[in-house]
Amino acid sequence: MPPKYKSQIGISARDLQKHVAVHHSRIAAAFEIYLGLPAR
């Protein structure tokens, strides 16, 4: 595996992890509002 390709995978994984975290918190916030629970 070429080093360049490997670094691209690493960056993609980090971006994906960050995106999932943001998306998850957004879903959690929407769910709290939907259920009428106080926001964190």
* pLDDT at site 7: 64
36 pLDDT band (50/70/90 cuts)? Answer: confident
pLDDT of 1 over the 70 cut:
no
* pLDDT at site 14: 84
Question: Is residue 38 packed enough to be buried (19+ CB in 10 Å), middle (13-18) or exposed (0-12)?
Answer: exposed
pLDDT of 8 over the 60 cut:
yes
pLDDT of 29 over the 60 cut:
yes
* pLDDT at site 5: 64
Domain count, the chain: 1
Q: Which domain holds residue 30?
A: 1-40
Query: How confident is the model over 8-37, as a mean pLDDT?
Result: 83
